[in-house]
Amino acid sequence: MKRMRKILVLTGKYIGDIIDFFYPPFRRFFSRQFFRYAVSGAANLVFDWMLYFAIYNYVIQKQFISLGFVTVSPHISALLITFPITLLSGFLLQKYVTFTASQLRGKDQLVRYMAVVGVNLLINYFGLKLLVEVLHLYPTPSKMVVTLICTIFSYFSQKKFTFKIKNAP
């Protein structure tokens, strides 16, 4: 376990150093932490969109999935499949790249992160239901719009709750 943590810390530092290389032109506009959040979050976001697209189009093949007691629409099925993957990648990026100064136990951070992501999952679910099933927009652009809304909520929640710094002003 200690070896895995060491690998994650070193990988996070390496990714952070790469992001920091591109930071100087943005120094006037953003704090280093916000810049890291934006870049690592954007990378996870693009990963999420690509994964969602691939799952929706090639794995589920735009088909409804019958679970016996309920039939799940293809856009919601793709969301349910991609969710745990991007949950883990997002947590690791935020913990080891963006919010590295937090002294909260990793277990507590993960529980808090999952709570914030749970709210985001609800926003995603109801947002997709609204945009796809009520407004009849395409699923992938709908997912992108909903994700952008979640991103704003997430930054403030992660900074002030999940990875908060004890005794920070």
Q: Are 38 and 20 in contact (CB under 8 A)?
A: no
Exposed/middle/buried for 103, CB within 10 Å: 0-12, 13-18, 19+? exposed
Q: Residue 102 falls within a domain, yes or no?
A: yes
pLDDT at position 81: 94
Three-state SS at 129:
helix
| Sheet strands (E) in 67-156 | 71-72
Cα(150)–Cα(8) distance, integer angstroms: 26
- Bigger pLDDT: 47 vs 151: 47
DSSP lists the bridge partners of residue 66 as 71
- Bigger pLDDT: 140 vs 54: 54
Total domain count for the chain?
1
Range of the domain at 32: 2-162
**Does residue 57 register a pLDDT over 60?**
yes
Q: Residue 168 falls within a domain, yes or no?
A: no
pLDDT at position 151: 80
Q: Residue 40 falls within a domain, yes or no?
A: yes
Where does the pLDDT of residue 168 fall: very low under 50, low under 70, confident under 90, or very high at 90 and above?
low
Q: What is the pLDDT of residues 67-94, one digit of tens each?
A: 999 999 999 999 999 989 998 999 999 9
Q: What is the pLDDT of residues 115-148, one digit of tens each?
A: 998 898 899 899 999 999 999 999 989 988 998 8
Stated as kind and residue range, the H or E segment containing 66 is strand 65-66
Using CA atoms in the order 59, 87, 94, 117, what is the torsion angle rounded to 10 degrees? Answer: 130
Cα(160)–Cα(147) distance, integer angstroms: 20
Q: Residue 24 falls within a domain, yes or no?
A: yes
Stated as kind and residue range, the H or E segment containing 65 is strand 65-66
In the chain, % of residues over pLDDT 90: 70
- Bigger pLDDT: 88 vs 165: 88
Positive or negative, the Cα torsion across 31, 44, 110, 117? positive
pTM over 0.85, yes/no: no
